[in-house]
Structure 1
Amino acid sequence: MGVEIRVEGLTKAFGRQTIWQDVSLTVPAGEISVLLGPSGTGKSVFLKSLVGLLKPDRGHIWIGDRDLPYLPEHQLYETRKLFGVLFQDGALFGSMNLYDNIAFPLREHTKKSESDIRRVVMEKMDMVGLLGSENKLPGEISGGMKKRAGLARALVLDPEILLVDEPDSGLDPVRTALLNQLFIDLNAQINATFLIVTHDINTARTIPDNIGMLYRRELVMFGPREMLLSSEEPVVRQFLNARRAGPIGMSEEKDVSELEAESKMGLDVGTLPPIQPQLMPSDGRIRAAQHAPGAWCAAHGVTPPPGSFVDDLGRNWVEEWPRYVASQQAAAMHGGQPGHPGGAQY
């Protein structure tokens, strides 16, 4: 099972430039969380702070009972072993083939024999669909394969926390969708805590259990996906709708005169799009971290946007979910395999 990350009052600046300030959130253990935000809001800096590559100016990062910024070097080294990191470009060594790239953390941080290392590497390559590509160099493969190789390397030490920085960068929409499905499948298998930084709206709408958003050096909100996807916050609605109108500008936030001009022109951030069904594991199982569709909205008296939780086949998963759970439980009781819901979403 994954480890909870608890952030309290975190602040980071480079010289006079404050990146973000007083950020507090809890990333639940074993769940998939996504962090959104316009370019330049410090999302990657936040990930680097979580793993101890950058030290915040103030605040706390609790990994279990350890406060990461204040650990002595040897404890920081040990705590980092809880993490796997998938960097934006995969960060593969160009002179090593994929097998040696993926084996590198095992050779560097463990005393495993080469036979044990081979077993682990091949298992992780199988998990990400790279079997048969062991001898290829990074320069000989596609961007999507590089991402999967980087992901396999992030998994070889069996991390309890997986940090993922812009997995969609450099990928076409199809490869991004396939990678998103892989994250869901991996979470179902290993129950690790996932935190994914992304600009991709489809990723944010379909895979996480929780969503947060950084803007204007602050955390606008963080919580269950339905909370953000039903939010009336103008910055959230503008971002989800990819609208030109709204508080987000080309570089920083827009000033009052710009917003007034947009209002006079009749421009707005748009209505909230429907909340899409969340991706299901490929084999149809129910992840340990999954929540019933519409449960948060119902518990908090929020009416979701029209058309929410309806899949491409026209099924409303608020209504379908109890029947699906019952069918899975019945299959498990009789020793059968989990059924697939007829699509990769619920």
Structure 2
Amino acid sequence: MGVEIRVEGLTKSFGRQVIWQDVSLTLPAGEISVMLGPSGTGKSVFLKTLVGLLRPDRGSITIEGRDVTRLRERELYEVRKLFGVLFQDGALFGSMSLYDNIAFPLREHTRRPESEIRRIVLEKMDMVGLIGAEEKLPGEISGGMRKRAGLARALVLEPEIILFDEPDSGLDPVRVAYLNQLIVDLNAQTGATFLIVTHDIASARQVPDNIGLLFRRELVMFGPRDTLLASGEPVVKQFLHGRMQGPIGMAEEKDAAQVEQELAELDAGEHRGPRGGKGASGEGVSPRLLPSPGIVRPPRWEAIAEREAEVWSREGVKGA
């Protein structure tokens, strides 16, 4: 099962450049969380800090009672065993077959016999739909298959936390849809805590239990999916609905007067438009992805469904 990650007052800078400051949130055990934000807001830096690859300037990251930011290298090595990471490009070794790529962590970090390694590798390859591709090289397969191979490798040590660094980058919309379903299914099957950094709005609206948004060097919001989707916070509305109107500009932040004018015009348009099936944001609500048939839903799903139904009812949303 997954474990909780509690982040308090986290601040990170490179020289004089502050990446983000005073970030506090709790990633619930076993749930899927997504971290959003415009380019350059330090989402990948946040992932690297969680796993101890980067040290923050201030703050704490508590996992199973241990503050990752204060651990010595040997202690940090033990905590890192809780993590599996899917990098943007899959980070596969080009000269190794998919089988050997996926087996690599088991051979490097355990003393299991090859017979057991084979069982585990084939089990994970089956989970991500790669049975039959064992002998292929990374250069011989599609980007989507490389992502799935990287995900299988992240799973072989049975991690309790899995970090996804823009898993949808470089994929077409159809492959992104398949990958999203795979992520939901794997979470239901493993019970691990998932944190996904992504720019894909459709993924952010359909996949997670929780959503966070980094902007202007701070965490604007973090909370349940339904709370963020129904939020009236200008930057949250702008990002989740991919609008030009709002605080986020093409290259830099907009001035306050411009933002105020844009939002006033946008709100006036929303009030003139039809309200059926829309929430506080004035947008239709994307249905949550469910685990595939035959995969048992985690116990939290019933409580989440009831909470979301209450939120959508309160916001006047139908059929969400």
The TM-score with structure 1 as length reference comes to 0.85
Question: C-alpha displacement at 1:287, in angstroms?
Answer: 1.8
Question: C-alpha displacement at 1:292, in angstroms?
Answer: 3.8
Question: C-alpha displacement at 1:256, in angstroms?
Answer: 2.7
Question: C-alpha displacement at 1:261, in angstroms?
Answer: 5.8
1:225-236 alignment runs, 5 A limit: 225-236=225-236
What SS does structure 1 have at the residue aligned with 2:315? coil
Residue in 2 that maps onto 1:242? 242
What amino acid maps onto 1:293 in structure 2?
A: A
Residue in 2 that maps onto 1:307? 318
Residue in 2 that maps onto 1:289? 300
Residue in 2 that maps onto 1:330? none
What SS does structure 2 have at the residue aligned with 1:274? coil
2:246 and 2:263 in contact (8 A); partners too: no
What SS does structure 1 have at the residue aligned with 2:300? coil
What amino acid maps onto 1:282 in structure 2?
A: S
Residue in 2 that maps onto 1:211? 211
Residue in 2 that maps onto 1:53? 53
Question: C-alpha displacement at 1:253, in angstroms?
Answer: 1.6
Q: Deviation digits for residues 127-148 of structure 1, max 9, x if unmatched?
A: 0000110111111100000000
User: How many angstroms apart in 1 are the aligned matches of 2:313 and 2:6?
Assistant: 27
Going from structure 1 to structure 2, the CA distance change for 1:292 and 1:63 (only over 3 Å counts) comes to closer
Gaps of 5+ in 1: 310-346
Residue in 2 that maps onto 1:344? none
The TM-score with structure 2 as length reference comes to 0.91
Going from structure 1 to structure 2, the CA distance change for 1:247 and 1:170 (only over 3 Å counts) comes to same
Residue in 2 that maps onto 1:83? 83
Question: C-alpha displacement at 1:301, in angstroms?
Answer: 9.5
User: How many angstroms apart in 1 are the aligned matches of 2:212 and 2:316?
Assistant: 19
Q: Percent identity?
A: 69
Residue in 1 that maps onto 2:197? 197
1:274 and 1:305 in contact (8 A); partners too: no
1:25 and 1:222 in contact (8 A); partners too: yes
Tell me the matched-pair count: 307
User: How many angstroms apart in 1 are the aligned matches of 2:144 and 2:312?
Assistant: 41
Question: C-alpha displacement at 1:204, in angstroms?
Answer: 0.9
Residue in 1 that maps onto 2:152? 152
2:51 and 2:80 in contact (8 A); partners too: yes
Question: C-alpha displacement at 1:95, in angstroms?
Answer: 1.1
Report 1 or 2 for greater relative contact order, CA contacts < 8 Å, sequence distance ≥ 6.
2
Q: Deviation digits for residues 185-224 of structure 1, max 9, x if unmatched?
A: 1111110000011111111111111111111111111111
> Mean Cα displacement is larger for which, 83-92 or 245-254?
245-254
2:312 and 2:318 in contact (8 A); partners too: no
Residue in 2 that maps onto 1:280? 290
What amino acid maps onto 1:100 in structure 2?
A: D
